[in-house]
Chain A
Amino acid sequence: MTASGPDAGRLVAEFLPERVGRYRAMARFPDGTTQESRFIVFTENLERLKWRRMWWLAPIVRASGGPADRTGGFGAAVAGIEQREGRRDAEDEVVSGVECRLGFLPDWFSLRPGLVLTTAVGTMLNEKQHILDRLAAADRAHQKEAGGRFLLRSVKYLCVCVLAAFVLDVVFHLRAGWRLGLLLGIIGGVVALLGVAWYLAFVRRNRLEHIARFLEAALPALARNSSICSNCRGRLPTPRCRR
């Protein structure tokens, strides 16, 4: 590691992994001590879901990044986040002689921001952001379904209007002006319904917590872990320094 810029107190180094696996970085300091940091390089996205047994959620799950078979699915990924968060206090212990947030952890994977990896290092650091992104994608898919449902449900009212227009015409022998007015009214109604459906499908958004609770209600595995909502609120963890 070499000095970075004018600040002599900061040293930097970079490394481009070429293979997946468990890595270990060990720094030797002038006083003879060493500090070690561990990290994992991988290519698999662990957060993908399998929709084998939940075909009715297939569009949402596809939109969220699936399918990929993994026992526990989304819930297990969430559990991993919880487990890691539970260890955060222990990982944040200040190592003698090394400033907090350096990322040199006593003996565990360096998964916290203190390792100062890039933002694209993968789900290890971006796990929550990925979940939030996929919740947003799932919400969009859910809203598209909502728009479609709204459109299909409105068909019966449209049919009633058309039928009523025919009945009125038969009973009252409407003149051409009235007929045209009714026709334009029905067309206007159809356009309005399409507009509302489009708004529901492509514009309206739900809170991420809402869609998370929806997914949890639909998937027992998620309900057992019941932590997606808390992850939505918690956002990315903030490193804590204790001196």
Chain B
Amino acid sequence: MLGEKVYFRLAMRQPDPKVASVPLTLFLGDKEIGRAT
């Protein structure tokens, strides 16, 4: 619903301490609208 936050969560099966972040790109239709952090 518009106005509500969307939360993304990712769990690694084999946690790797070196992986501290993963870029997440958001598209509205085919247009890139930003990157979530």
Contacts and interface: CB of A to CB of B under 8 A. Distances in A.
Chains A and B belong together in one complex? yes
Contacts of A20: 2
Interface of A: 1-4, 7-30, 37, 39, 41-43, 97-99, 102-104, 115-118, 120-123
Given A1-B22, A11-B19, 17 more contacts: A1-B24, A1-B37, A8-B19, A9-B14, A9-B15, A11-B11, A12-B10, A14-B6, A14-B8, A16-B6, A22-B28, A26-B24, A30-B18, A37-B8, A99-B13, A117-B4, A117-B7
Contact of B36 (A15, A30, A42, A98): A15
A44 to B, nearest CB: 9
A182 to B, nearest CB: 61
Interface in B3-31: 3-29
A13 B24 contact: yes
Contact of B6 (A8, A19, A39, A123): A39
A97 B24 CA distance: 17
A7 B12 CA distance: 10
B22 A29 contact: yes
Contact of A15 (B13, B22, B26): B26
Chain B interface: which size bin?
20 to 34
A27 B13 CA distance: 16
A22 B33 CA distance: 12
B2 to A, nearest CB: 5
A157 B32 CA distance: 72
Residue picked from B9, B11, B12, B19, most chain A C-beta under 10 Å: B9
Nearest to A43: B2
Contacts of A4: 9
